[in-house]
Structure 1
Amino acid sequence: MELRVIDKTDEELRLEIAGEDHTFMNVIKGALLETPGVAAATYDVNPEQSGGQTDPILSVKTESGTDPLDALADASQRVQDLSSDFTSAFEAAL
């Protein structure tokens, strides 16, 4: 997975995430929307609307005092934790 910051301010982040599709993008967007301090999170994979861009672009807007990179780190950690919990539960069920 390759990440490229397109734009970054104190309260907004646009990040290209190469090689991903709706499956991953929906998971990270959902985790961001559950993160305290996040006002909005969305992504775009439509090349017509993104100037020919084919890799998804994640957009995050945070409330004052919340750094969008910190919010993304928190959301990513929660996704990792959920995945680990699921793996443990799955292995226990076998």
Structure 2
Amino acid sequence: KRAKLTPADVDYINAHGTSTMADTIELGAVERLVGNAASKISMSSTKSSIGHLLGAAGAAEAIFSILAIRDNIAPATINLDNPERETAIHRVP
């Protein structure tokens, strides 16, 4: 709220994405948060490429996100062959 950003200002979300039931819950929460802006947003999980680094996960994902902004490219979610459900959010394959 303090940044005065709206869902329409969001281009990319780096999801937690650990290939568990929580992924569906996370996707639903993001859809509720962004509403009609969902079709404009790309979402991926870098954990599919580097694994869950536990205490270092936040730093590694921040670096991936910064590079995504700098290079204007979202990192892929590898092995996302059968998404559990459809969504308007662009899941980066």
The structure richer in strand per residue is 1
Structure with larger RCO (C-alpha < 8 A, sep 6+): 2
The structure richer in helix per residue is 2
Common fold: TM-score over 0.5:
no
Which structure: larger Rg? 1
What TM-score, normalized by structure 1, do the two folds share? 0.30
What TM-score, normalized by structure 2, do the two folds share? 0.31
